[in-house]
Structure 1
Amino acid sequence: MTADRRRCRRGQGELEAQVLSVLREAGGPATAGWVQERLGGDLAYTTVVTILTRLLAKGAVTRERAGRSFAWTPVSDEADLAARKMRKVLDAGSDRQAVLASFVTGLGPEDERLLRELLGEDLLEDD
């Protein structure tokens, strides 16, 4: 692999985010070929299919037969996907309290205020 190609490589998470973004723009089921066209650049069709298959395994997209290929649809919006990732990290930790404490400690004042507000709303709804 050349140095130029290495510099241009995108991380798996970045490609997944780009593919999901393109799928959301579709407004309905889209084929891997359609996604590849919208992404532009030099991504191979097989790379797009691999990314879509990984997203399917993660529960981020669904697929249905469309002729000889599949049409793909995002399952959730960006916020839901981020929340799923956060829950996965939380579930992987051996000490949930430590993971949550570390997360909350790293929040800025505005995010902390928002979290307190959201938790307050949930507490009121539970009554």
Structure 2
Amino acid sequence: MTKSSRRSGRRPPGVLEQEILDCLTEAGRPLTPGEVQTQLGGELAYTTVMTTLARLHKRGLAEREQAGRAYAYRVASDAEAAQSIAVAAQMSRLLGKGGDRAGVLAHFVADLGPEDEQLLTELLRGLEDGRQGRGSTRRTTGE
């Protein structure tokens, strides 16, 4: 935790989301924001919990259903996909913190094993094919 986050009482990015996802997972049933707030010890503002749950829902990490005037939330039914989305979001946040994006990505790619390199290449080709199909004028290097 940084000095500024200790002084402000704020959690590092992503920690609250993970705590809420853990709470939803442990409950084994949909929880309202008030129930999540209680499960987390009641120290967070209701609006903070509600906003975080709404963000998790928007990102596909949580599903919701009407529960009276509120929503009740549960971890997304495809837990593997939800975990992939969460890890990708964390990677994106960390990448955004560095000043040398190209350097960070170069080191990341250099540390990949052959299978992951191949998978990444296929994913990037698929993205480029999708862009070309939409009429993008962007070109890849080396073409």
What is the TM-score normalised by the length of structure 1? 0.62
Distance 1:86 1:35 in 2: 22
Q: CA RMSD in A?
A: 3.5
Q: Map Cα deviations across residues 38-71 of structure 1 (whole Å, 9 max, x no partner).
A: 1115101111001011111111111110112111
> Which of 104, 112, 121 is matched with 2:109 structurally?
104
> Quick one: structure 1 residues 55 and 7, their matched pair in 2 at CA, closer, same or farther if it must change by over 3 Å?
same
Check 1:79–1:50 CA distance in 2 against 1; reply closer, same or farther (3 A cut): closer
Is 2:61–2:83's contact at 8 Å kept on the other side of the alignment? no
Task: Measure the CA separation in 1 of the matches of 2:6 and 2:106.
Answer: 40
Q: 1:85 Cα shift?
A: 2.5
Please tell me the residue identity of whatever aligns with 1:63.
R
Counterparts in 2 of 1:52-91, with a 5 A limit?
52-75=53-76, 76-77=79-80, 79-85=83-89
Aligned pair count reads 106
Q: Where do 1:1-127 residues align within 5 Å? A: 6-75=7-76, 76-77=79-80, 79-85=83-89, 101-105=106-110, 107=111, 115-116=113-114
SS of residue paired to 1:42: coil
Find the aligned partners of 1:104 and 1:52 in 2 and give their Cα distance.
Answer: 33
Identity between Structure 1 and Structure 2 (%): 42
Q: Distance in 2 between matches of 1:86 and 1:43?
A: 22
Give the distance between the partners of 1:4 and 1:103, measured in 2 at CA. Answer: 27
User: TM-score by structure 2 length?
Assistant: 0.56
Partner Cα separation in structure 2 for residue 98 and residue 11 of structure 1:
24
How far 1:28 moved relative to its partner? 2.0
- Distance change in 2, residues 1:83/1:7 (3 Å): closer
| Post-superposition offset of 1:102 | 2.8
